[in-house]
Structure 1
């Protein structure tokens, strides 16, 4: 999710992420945020409705949680000291179902309320007998009761709370407009008049429910991020008791200092330090290192890493909640609590609009009375101002573009995870690619075979396959994937693997070795001294050196064309990885990425820091795959995860490409189009209010016309948003060369 990198929240010395339960809309978040900012000791606060999280900041003494909970409880919400993704997901589902029920009631009873109202509109044309006007007005009001009492009840509660919190927004305006329309209508009925405005109140509630449901459908997906992130780690461990017996138990039931056993092929659930044993571990989940790393006693192993070879005993150093992966999850929650430019702009407009509209309504009433109009007519003029200026179009401006564009993006293999990605693509000047799993397949391929006489390339490859057998080591899998004409390796004999060194194969009188050069020398093999760059295995047979097989990372077929296209368009392309410098430079050379743009050996936190540093100079996109990229993907202005990404990575990214990185250019093009439409919608919504408020104040617009005009403004926003589904000219791949990288669609 794109971050607000210039927010004051980041400047405070301390911050903490809390969870808020019970929020139903953006107005709820605005009210909670305003209230938290007023609490003693809080220097800044940011509330994200999509993720149900609040970030509070302080400088010296940490604010008391109990005081914050009491303050938030006064608004009807609950504050928790830890993020619970399951609770957030449950709340999201409940909120969506409740909105659907309220909208169903509003549509059904709203249509019945509009029917008699329509006859009242036609009365001046002689379509209705005078004696039927008052009964029709009563019927319109009766059919409106379920809509006003049930469908709109949430707006009244939130509108009142936000007023009391000193942060009135859209719900406060809806609350006042519906209250005024209902009060004037009841007054008219009791006076024997048929000029009622129940239909305007019903339309107002129905349109707002549609907007709220669209917004909720897209935005609540953010509640999945942390839950998916933590699901990548197993929840059970093999515990070694003091008496030496082993027991499978839940990871949450262990504590620091307990001993656990990790076997080949298993994934670690807790952070720990190796006490006994050796092996090789796949650390790519957290570091991006493409080769398994050797482990010895004293080495640290983090939750999420997988043991490829060997068996180790570990002493737990961090339990549930204190692991490195828990820290990454909390960091992602902090990033999610930040607000984007359009979010902050919409919040400011909503806060400014309410007092402006109320003042305009009061001026309209006073002007009407000054002109000698009767009190009911003056009140109707004020109501017209409130209804026609109600920012329905403003509330629909962003969600409609997101919703219309989402289906179109899916058809192009692009899944939108975060609405803010739409605005993030404008003015992008740099694209940062992760290496392993993004540009490469993660499986090495044979690059060269250097046999020693009397061996030949095919017989050396066959011998290597025989020695390594069906090992799960990436080098072994790369051997088997190599397309060669030789016969497969022999399956007989016995194999002994030495973690981090090599493999010995014995079959009768034959003994063969495959592994590191220094290990072969320890076994008495005369290995020539050659420079080892990248991945290599040396082979020996019956005490004689047989040759060397070199490997390189396998590029994805689309990686080269995509990177070259982006460079040709003028983007600055970076390679950012946790892998070694040599491996990164070799890959960059094959792709045409300049060496000064190659960053190697970066941890997840370091990746995110680099992304933020770069974005101070130029708007950047981060494209990654793998759990170790989650923090950078969530913190980047625009995070893109590719097809093979782990579920957690796909959720942490703002955009998920189901196919490959070949869709990156099309993603930027579609996102730029969306941001352009968002700005157009916001411009129309604000311009509409600027134009119609003076007309309503002068009394030139009646409440009924005001309701229709308000609906037409929303319709204009809808029609403009439909342009998001216009087909890209040609396929995404064909159009990628025509994307302009640095032109803002605004």
Structure 2
């Protein structure tokens, strides 16, 4: 073509035929609105990016870009330059779940707005405020209520209507069938009675019922979304890209998911290792806390096995990949979390078990009421009114509130004590446990090394060591600096400090002497034979002076031993499972009085131990904080995590406790036990309510309006009983309150 311009179909340019691609990026450390703006601006600066929109609630960014101009790795690197760690989201099911939760929230908002306005109109009619109204004015109020309620019910009630329709198409019943039937019949009869000009109109009951049922449905879906997102968000913990060394020695940067066994990867100091493999060149220290939970770095050199997600703290190393991105230990942990969460999702609560038999009973009773009164000659309209009253009065509000009302009161009390309950059935499962399994690092202990022999180190030595340590991010160096500052010492970063990877720090003092802080061999301790002796120590030397040892330990939480003692006195079996070294775990177990302990346990091993305890008839509470604990937290019958835990561990657990003390663990158990007793009391109240009012409704002594009032009173009674839990004095016991099924067998 003249001028070298290529022809296009239909006269369109290639740019017009090009379809932009949209992807979702998970941004791990997006925490505020300012982060959103920074992230969006950074992405829009990338050539080829057409749009970028961040969501703070999900920590994700939707990016639309031209595939011919840029690629996902460039987008990720652009965020990395701004200090944000990102990865490409791979789950579409999670997006669908978020969409369902958002849809329920919109319907809940509509129902709440309509319910508030209908109740305002109802007050004028039913509470006597407008007792002097003539019939036409009352009729107007009824129609206004209907105009507000009917569109809101038609929109907000769709989740129940669709569920009920699906159940009927499958020739079965669920709790949404009587709920839908009651709402529809109450609304239809209200329209009919408004047309006739009578006072028996109950639009308020229909929309209020819809509103409160939507609250429960939304909270349930929201918690499911949080659980499903736990495993996917693990992707934010692994390396996103890798520097691959080619056959000619050239280094090229590729995405971690493109790595295959045999490839050689260069890992710089401070970088996460992108793949499972073995070190073929270099020596370093590896932060393995992500996998093992151990806070002390591990020395690694040629031939050592390393795992994706761990951090290289020392010098540059070359790692030969032995697995693909999908087969790393980190990926396996993600799969274990998913599998355990799916297993937990099959847990059936008592209210759900009761509902399976409650639903057909309600329909049968309503049908018998309609038929019975028609046979008695009451006529269709009167008979239908009585049947609607039966459906409304037997509405499972009190039954549905029996457990949630107690959970709200229990959650409120626990929140005041620093415990946040996340799982809808978490308290039920907590009440059933008889065995407590603790992780060590970050759970029984503080989770960070501290200088254990600080009282043996004088101020000048500690200050000099801190002036070197401040230049390093090694956990031991941070502990030295922290101790010096706590002692109130004044020191500044030593000029000319050099860090020798895998060895230590050195600098020249003003008097010409060399200062060194590091391993025994690096400092020159006699008889160290080139090794760091002991493994949990640093050494400091000022010129030719005698080296000074800095010893470290991960201290127990202040009340760890007392808590374990209280649990054992109450009759609980207490175990300790840790990925840490045997010596450290043995010392911690002895200090706390725990006889059953295991060390160097990987995530799969923890799950196997939990399954073994379950096979022995135990109901296990897992208390842990690390990524390596996440699968066990999800697998256990119930689980708790400290607020300092990894995000994925907090999401996988039933509750999170705050503060340095472990007392909230005992409080959670006390409240859980009491909450289950109160839940059973509430079921009794619900059954008593039905035993009194249902026969009256069947006998025709209860109008639909009175049925709605009685239904509300039963809910108030259940709630009032639950509120007593907030101020009661509770005791710790391992005797679980049995939650009985309808066939008489215990759930324990």
TM-score under structure 1 length normalisation:
0.75
Query: What number of residue pairs does the alignment pair up?
Result: 647
Cα contact 1:458–1:485 (8 A) shared by 2: no
The answer for the alignment partner of 1:603 in structure 2 is: 602
Distance 2:608 2:222 in 1: 31
Q: 1:342/1:255 Cα in 2 relative to 1: closer, same or farther (>3 Å)?
A: closer
Structure 1 residue corresponding to 2:356, chosen from 328, 339, 351: 351
1:661-680 deviations in Å (ceiling 9; x for gaps): 23222222233333333333
CA distance in 2, matches of 1:209, 1:322: 41
Deviation string 1:478-501 (CA, Å, 9 cap, x unpaired) is 4444568999799477756363x6
How many angstroms apart in 1 are the aligned matches of 2:214 and 2:170?
Answer: 23
Q: Write out per-residue CA displacement over residues 426-451 of structure 1, whole angstroms, 9 at most, x where no aligned residue.
A: 25433222111222233434445999
CA distance 1:650–1:552, change in 2 (3 Å): same
Does residue 637 of the first structure (1) align with residue 654 of the second (2)?
no
TM superposition shift of 1:697: 2.0
Take 1:457 and 1:129, find their aligned partners in 2: how far apart are those partners? Answer: 93
The answer as to whether partners of 1:450 and 1:548 remain within 8 angstroms in 2 is no
CA 1:240–1:133: 2 relative to 1, 3 Å: same
Equivalent runs, 1:229-628 vs 2, <5 Å = 229-240=234-245, 244-246=249-251, 250-252=255-257, 257-339=262-344, 343-447=348-452, 470-482=471-483, 491=494, 497=500, 499=502, 525-526=526-527, 535-537=536-538, 546=547, 550-591=551-592, 593-594=593-594, 596-615=595-614, 616-628=616-628
Per-residue deviation, residues 343-391 of structure 1 (Å, max 9, x unmatched): 4432222222221111111211222123221221111121111111111
Q: Distance in 2 between matches of 1:348 and 1:510?
A: 77
Contact 1:256 1:315 survives alignment (8 Å): yes
Inter-CA distance 173–269: structure 2 relative to 1 (3 Å threshold):
farther
Which residue does the alignment assign to 1:8? none
**For residues 220 and 692 of structure 1, do their structure 2 counterparts lie closer, same or farther at Cα, with a shift above 3 Å needed?**
farther
Per the TM alignment, residue 603 of structure 1 is displaced from its structure 2 partner at its CA by 0.5
The separation in 2 between residues aligned to 1:524 and 1:385, in whole angstroms, is 87
**Counterpart in the other structure of 1:740:** 733
Are 1:168 and 2:167 an aligned pair?
no
- Label 1:287 to 1:361 Cα distance change in 2 as closer, same or farther (>3 A): same
State yes or no: 1:721 paired with 2:714.
no
Asked if the contact 2:414–2:667 (Cα under 8 Å) also holds between the matched residues in 1, the reply is no
Q: Which residue of 1 aligns with 2:109?
A: 100
2:435–2:619 contact (8 Å) kept in structure 1? yes
SS in structure 2 opposite 1:274?
strand
Question: What is the rounded CA distance, in whole Å, between the counterparts of 2:137 and 2:492 in structure 1?
Answer: 95
Please report how far the alpha carbon of residue 185 of structure 1 lies from its aligned counterpart in structure 2 after TM superposition. 4.6
User: 2:577, 2:599 within 8 Å by CA — same for their partners in 1?
Assistant: yes
Q: What is the SS of the residue equivalent to 1:639? A: strand
Q: Deviations over 1:25-67 (max 9, x none)?
A: xxxxxxxxxxxxxxxxxxxxxxxxxx9xxxxxxxxxxxxxxxx
Query: Structure 1 residues 198, 382: CA separation in 2 closer, same or farther (over 3 Å shift)?
Result: same
**What are the residue-to-residue correspondences of 1:55-66 with 2, within 5 Å?**
none
Q: Tell me if the contact between 2:697 and 2:703 (Cα under 8 Å) persists in the aligned partners.
A: yes
Unaligned runs of 5+ in 2: 1-57, 59-88, 740-748
| 2:702 counterpart of 1:701 | yes
User: In 2, distance between residues paired with 1:174 and 1:320?
Assistant: 48
On the 8 A contact 1:96/1:216 being kept in 2, the answer is no
> Structure 1 regions of 5+ residues with no counterpart?
1-50, 52-79, 730-734
Shift of 1:614: 2.4
CA distance in 1, matches of 2:372, 2:198: 23
Q: Aligned with 2:443: secondary structure? A: coil
Say what the alpha-carbon RMSD is for the aligned residues. 4.3
C-alpha distance in 2 between matches for 1:509 and 1:118: 92
Identify, as 1 or 2, the structure richer in strand: 1
- Structure-2 change in CA distance of 1:209 and 1:107 (3 Å): farther
TM-score by length of 2: 0.74
Cα separation, 2, equivalents of 1:490 and 1:711: 69
Describe how 1:78-227 pairs up with structure 2 within 5 A: 84-109=93-118, 111-112=120-121, 115-116=124-125, 141-186=146-191, 195-213=200-218, 215=220, 220-227=225-232
- Higher deviation after alignment, 575-584 or 199-208: 199-208
Whether the 8 Å contact between 2:91 and 2:232 is mirrored in structure 1 is no
